[in-house]
Structure 1
Amino acid sequence: MSEPVARWPVSLIVGPYALLALLAGVTVAEKGSAGASLVVDLVLCALVAAWMLGVFTLRPAWRGRPPVMAVFFTVLILLTAILVIRDPWFGFFTPVGYVYAFRVLPWPWEAVGVGAVGVVAGTAQAYGVDKSTVAGLLTYGAVVVANVVPMCAFAWFARRAARQNEERERALHEAREANRRLAASLAENAALHERLLAQARDAGVRDERQRMAREIHDTLAQGLTGIVSQLRAAEHAGDDPAAWRRHVAAATKLARESLSEARRSVHALRPEPLSSAMLSEALAGVAERWSALHDIPVQVTTTGTARPIRPEAEAALLRIAQEALANVAKHARATRVGVTLSYLENEAALDVRDDGGGFDPARLNDPLGPDPLGPDPLGPDALGPDASDAAAIDSRADRGGFGLIAMRERMESLSGTLQVESEPGAGTGISARVPAERAEAGA
């Protein structure tokens, strides 16, 4: 396997030249003393040095090119083999071949290169063996095998260790990358969590504001309207003390009930009529009190099997009945009213119908036009200028159909529906439906 230039220590760059020079000196000493020619040996040594210098040492960029390094290694081993055949002591140069084989050849050519160096080393070691006989050839082969097999096995084990190390490095890199992505995801989730908490807080604030607006409209506004109506009636009673006391007593009772409902609204408790009675009984009580107060007969009917449903659903239906009856008293000029509570298979339904003057539902969202529900039957001037101003403000509040909007919001918050049917001269019908999920035990 080839390695970058930075991984090559100076000793491995300079060492081959020093070893080659030492072996050339040995050649000069051995052959020079015997009077043999040194030209071929010294030329071969010079070729080896020039080859290493020109292709490897002075060309660092080429060390990362496997084809170039394969040619470099092949030529180097051939020159080394020629030197070994001429002078066996050049077998000491084969460690340089092993170094290059391990460092510049990719697998599996690394094993081939190690085997080739082993053959050259074995040839040098078996230089004195007579290869003309079978025994000599077997001995030569055994020496070569003794060099090739251990070195190829070492190369295989080194390769396996390197591959395992690469796998560990890759696993560590993947683990670090996974940790980085996990940290980024956790940071993103934390930011998302903060946004969701902020949105939940904002939604909670909006819901609480809407709840308080509905509760104030359904309790305080209606109670105050009833009180104003009773005080107007008391003022119109003139010289009839009994009628005057009756209207004042009714106004006082409404004031107490409104105060109680205001406290319960603040604490998000159930409406007073539901605190000790079922929904059908609470509706009957509300209708009876309303009928006695406004002298309009109300017929309350319950169909289906009465059963407890979610408290918030019961409270919503009761509030809608109160609001519908308040609208009848304020706008409809009705002579009779019907209230029907129906327990169906999957839902509970409340229907409030009157035979009053009716209105055009299309004009509910017209804040500048006349009151779509009709004028207050007592008139805004019944109690003088101050009362007229208050009544005008109340009329403007109702002109936008806030009561109907509050009803619809109540139903939508419970996954229910609200329908309003009316036309001028034909009365009005309001139908509210909520899923009839049973109340949990202890609710």
Structure 2
Amino acid sequence: MITVVPYVVLAVMVAVTIAFKHDQPGSLAIDLALCAAAAVWSLVLFTLRPAWRDRAGVMGVFLAGLILFGLVMVLRNPWFGVYSPVLYFYAYRIIGWPRELYFVAGAAVVAGTAQAADLDTGSWAGRLEYLAILAVNIGPMCLVAWIGEIGARYYDSREAALREAREANARLAAALAENAALQERLVEHARAAGVLDERARMAREIHDTLAQGLTGIVTQLQAAEHAAGDPAAWRRHHAAATALARESLTEARRSVNELRPEPLESGRLADAVTEVAARWSARHGIPAQVTVTGEARTMRPEAEAALLRMAQEGLANVARHAGTATRVGLTLSYMDHQVALDVRDDGRGFDPAARVERDGGFGLVAMRQRIEALSGTLQIESEVGGGTGISACLPAEAPEVRS
């Protein structure tokens, strides 16, 4: 449109000029030359040079020349004022703010001059009227240019805001994708850690149930073998081994189903420790005394299970390693913020720094892992010939109450 309409307007002006001045060859030739010059000027500086349209200086020269051609033409013939819309069009489109105001005013002068062709500019009244006509043309057209600039700025700011919003959305989408990938990796790591924790838990459960039970069975069967000449002692050891096998089977099933230790199913921790100690004492013939201090109260199930397992492991170690032990004492202490369980014997003891348990050391390691996993502490005190003491301490947190 911008490369066609100006030439169409010039062609119309040429046709009108020929129609009005066909009987004035001299004047007609000048007008046609002006139209041709304007056409060539537009063709050389604008139509055939698209790259020049971004050069403000060249476009300023081009439009100033067209305004000059238009002014000369309207001074000769008022009907050439129809060319002023072309000048406005160029001024609004190819010259940037605020320089376009000068060219808009120039185009308005061309239009106003054409409108004031019949005025007598030789008098002051005619001149003032001419200036008024110019002002009426220049003011509104410059106002239109200003309003257009405001609209363009608003549009540009809106486009910039939309572009920033799109970029922000793209960054957000990328961040969400990265977070999703990170979350997936964290889930995988958590799953792997959960598998390792579950393996450790199952290892402790197997040690606390099957390993202890099988060790007790082996101990009773060995004792029965040594008592082959004493039928009553043999039957006692055989019955103890049978009872241990049944208890171990029950505990194994409960561990598989992730249930609490059987003694805790029907009683409190103090009662469960007393029951375990009584069974162990009857089985091994070693007195085991249980002492409870403080006000007994309910703890978290996992804490009670850990302390009971610790009592079982401590008694199992006495049976395996204490040798000359004649008595065992278990003390369950309920304090303000902690609950402690001590297992002490008067056996042969050992050097904690040099001792390597015959079962690979897993008993004490598993015991320590179980206690420390619940934010507790485990201490082992022993010396050769001076017995052994194992003390576990856990926070006395109450169980959660579900509504």
Please give the TM-score of this superposition, normalised by the length of structure 1.
0.81
Question: Does 2:15 correspond to 1:55?
Answer: no
1:131 maps to what in 2? 121
Distance 2:208 2:164 in 1: 63
Q: Per-residue deviation at 1:34?
A: 4.0
2:296 maps to what in 1? 306
2:338 maps to what in 1? 347
Distance 2:75 2:338 in 1: 105
For residues 200 and 43 of structure 1, do their structure 2 counterparts lie closer, same or farther at Cα, with a shift above 3 Å needed? Answer: same
Distance 1:441 1:27 in 2: 103
SS in structure 2 of the partner of residue 418 of structure 1: strand
Deviations 1:302-334 (A, max 9, x none): 333322111001101110111111112101223
1:422 maps to what in 2? 382
Alignment-mate amino acid for residue 424 of structure 1: V
Deviations 1:344-400 (A, max 9, x none): 333322222333333333446xxxxxxx24xxxxxxxxxxxxxxxxxxxxx4xx1x3
1:412 maps to what in 2? 372
For residues 165 and 253 of structure 1, do their structure 2 counterparts lie closer, same or farther at Cα, with a shift above 3 Å needed? Answer: same
Question: Does 2:203 correspond to 1:213?
Answer: yes
Question: Does 2:80 correspond to 1:90?
Answer: yes
Q: Per-residue deviation at 1:42?
A: 5.6
Deviations 1:155-184 (A, max 9, x none): 344334444443444444344444434443
Distance 1:351 1:28 in 2: 125
For residues 436 and 59 of structure 1, do their structure 2 counterparts lie closer, same or farther at Cα, with a shift above 3 Å needed? Answer: same
How many residues are matched?
A: 402
Distance 1:228 1:274 in 2: 26
Distance 1:74 1:346 in 2: 94
2:217 maps to what in 1? 227
For residues 40 and 310 of structure 1, do their structure 2 counterparts lie closer, same or farther at Cα, with a shift above 3 Å needed? Answer: same
Question: Does 2:396 correspond to 1:436?
Answer: yes
* Identical columns (%): 63
Distance 2:258 2:56 in 1: 81
For residues 342 and 110 of structure 1, do their structure 2 counterparts lie closer, same or farther at Cα, with a shift above 3 Å needed? Answer: farther
2:10 maps to what in 1? 20
For residues 342 and 107 of structure 1, do their structure 2 counterparts lie closer, same or farther at Cα, with a shift above 3 Å needed? Answer: farther
SS in structure 2 of the partner of residue 108 of structure 1: coil
Alignment-mate amino acid for residue 228 of structure 1: V
Query: Which of 123, 126, 142 is residue 132 of structure 2 equivalent to?
Result: 142
After TM superposition, the structure 1 stretch with the greater mean CA deviation from structure 2, 89-98 or 26-35, is 26-35
Distance 2:334 2:122 in 1: 116
Q: Per-residue deviation at 1:220?
A: 1.1
2:280 maps to what in 1? 290
Query: Which of 104, 114, 117 is residue 114 of structure 1 equivalent to?
Result: 104
For residues 19 and 264 of structure 1, do their structure 2 counterparts lie closer, same or farther at Cα, with a shift above 3 Å needed? Answer: same
Output aligned runs, 1:230-379, within 5 Å. 230-333=220-323, 334-363=325-354, 372-373=356-357
After TM superposition, the structure 1 stretch with the greater mean CA deviation from structure 2, 267-276 or 12-21, is 12-21
Question: Does 2:84 correspond to 1:68?
Answer: no
For residues 134 and 305 of structure 1, do their structure 2 counterparts lie closer, same or farther at Cα, with a shift above 3 Å needed? Answer: farther
Please give the TM-score of this superposition, normalised by the length of structure 2.
0.88
Q: Per-residue deviation at 1:274?
A: 1.1
Relative contact order higher in (CA < 8 Å, ≥ 6 apart): 1
SS in structure 2 of the partner of residue 345 of structure 1: coil
Q: Per-residue deviation at 1:296?
A: 2.7
1:391 maps to what in 2? none
Q: Per-residue deviation at 1:146?
A: 3.0
Distance 1:40 1:343 in 2: 120
Distance 2:57 2:294 in 1: 92
Gaps of 5+ in 2: none
Q: Per-residue deviation at 1:405?
A: 1.6
Gaps of 5+ in 1: 1-10, 365-371, 374-394
Alignment-mate amino acid for residue 422 of structure 1: S
Distance 2:298 2:229 in 1: 49
Q: Per-residue deviation at 1:36?
A: 4.8
Q: Per-residue deviation at 1:129?
A: 1.0
For residues 363 and 88 of structure 1, do their structure 2 counterparts lie closer, same or farther at Cα, with a shift above 3 Å needed? Answer: farther
After TM superposition, the structure 1 stretch with the greater mean CA deviation from structure 2, 287-296 or 314-323, is 287-296
Q: Per-residue deviation at 1:61?
A: 1.2
For residues 254 and 57 of structure 1, do their structure 2 counterparts lie closer, same or farther at Cα, with a shift above 3 Å needed? Answer: same
Alignment-mate amino acid for residue 341 of structure 2: L
Distance 2:265 2:341 in 1: 19
After TM superposition, the structure 1 stretch with the greater mean CA deviation from structure 2, 275-284 or 172-181, is 172-181
Deviations 1:67-101 (A, max 9, x none): 43233323332332233334333222111111111
Distance 1:65 1:337 in 2: 103
Q: Per-residue deviation at 1:63?
A: 0.9
Distance 2:337 2:107 in 1: 90
Distance 2:295 2:65 in 1: 103
Distance 2:320 2:72 in 1: 122
Distance 2:44 2:361 in 1: 98
SS in structure 2 of the partner of residue 12 of structure 1: coil
SS in structure 1 of the partner of residue 392 of structure 2: strand
